[in-house]
Every structure is written in C-alpha cells, then in structure tokens.
Structure 1
C-alpha cells in the first residue's frame, strides 16, 4: 500500500512539473506578432536600426570598444555589399540577394545581442 501511495505521489509531482514548463508560445496571452510589432522589416531600415543599437551599446557601456568595432566593421561590410547589389540590380534586390542580406543582418543582430548581454 505504501509503495502505491509513493508511486502516485511521484506521478502527481511529475505531472505538476510538466504543466509548469509550458513553452511561452503555448501560454495564453502570448502573441508573437505583438512582440515583433514596430521592428523594421526592410533591409535599409534594419541597417539603420542595427547602427542605432551599436551606438547605444557603445554609449551605455554594454558593448566594449572591441565589440563595438567588430559590430561596426560587419555592419559596414553589409552596407557596402547592399549598396553594390542595389546598384547592380537597378535599384532592387532579387529574392536570393534579399534573403542572404536578411540572414547576415539576423546574424549580426544576434551577435550584438549576445555581446551586449554576455560580453567577451
């Protein structure tokens, strides 16, 4: 009898622990669209937004000089490549170029976030 009671208690604890770890996307009231509302979507807007993030990070000290220089250099390369692609494509990016540029911007954004929160 004691063994059944202990087994039932363990099973109940496991169920309670599982219910407490519901991912944020499954929680009532979470709206991923609202979370990203106001974020820039176009390439040039994202480049400007990342420049502001780098500047803020340097100004508030969350990016040290080395991290700031690294992020600035990568953003400069992205900006240069985007200008070159735009000139070559008659003012527009083809879908592959746009996707590649967005991927590079995503990578830089993650790098800036990591550096600002974790540092080297």
Structure 2
C-alpha cells in the first residue's frame, strides 16, 4: 500500500533548514501547487519525494515514516541541497586557480550588492 508523506516531518525539516514551500518547489522543479499538495499530505508516494528528501537532507523512508533517522551527514545534506546549476558552478569554481577564484568571488559579491539586479541588465543588445 502506498504511504503518504508525513506532513509533520516534512514541515519540521523545512523549518530546520529555513526553506519555504516556494523555495522547495523551485529547487525540486515543480509548481508551487504540486508542492502544496505534497506538504498538505494530499498525494500518495509522490514522484517528488526523492528530490524533496535530497534537498532536505533526509530520506524518503524518514519522510513517509518508515525510518526514525531524520538526518544524513551534514556535508552530504548541504551538497544535496544544491541545484544542478549550483553544483555545476561549484565544480567549475573548484577547477579554477586560487587567483581566479578570488576574482570570481569579487565579481559575485559585486553582482549580489548591485541595486540593479534585474534580468533586463543581462538581456541581449538590440
């Protein structure tokens, strides 16, 4: 018999990691409505559970109540919470020399502080 995700456990992991429903949906790659159904316990053994568990640093078995072990090792849960794009960027960053890494860090810090952080700034020229 299919089992429902434990909404209590799912919400507790989200709170622990300070991940909102919207952010979890974005990281999993589903609509906010689909995520809401999972969080509210309206879906049985959702196909999203493996990705949700990975992002929340736990297992599907824990989320559905088949295990009482909530956490994976911290380093694994941090790495698993990265999106594919973030994992790729990190891999490329690690391949850089130390001086190049410093340049990338400075560029990212400048972009993060920029008040004009909009998509239009990165759009193609006319």
Same fold (TM over 0.5): no
Bigger share in helix: 1
| Rg larger for | 1
TM-score normalised per structure 1: 0.31
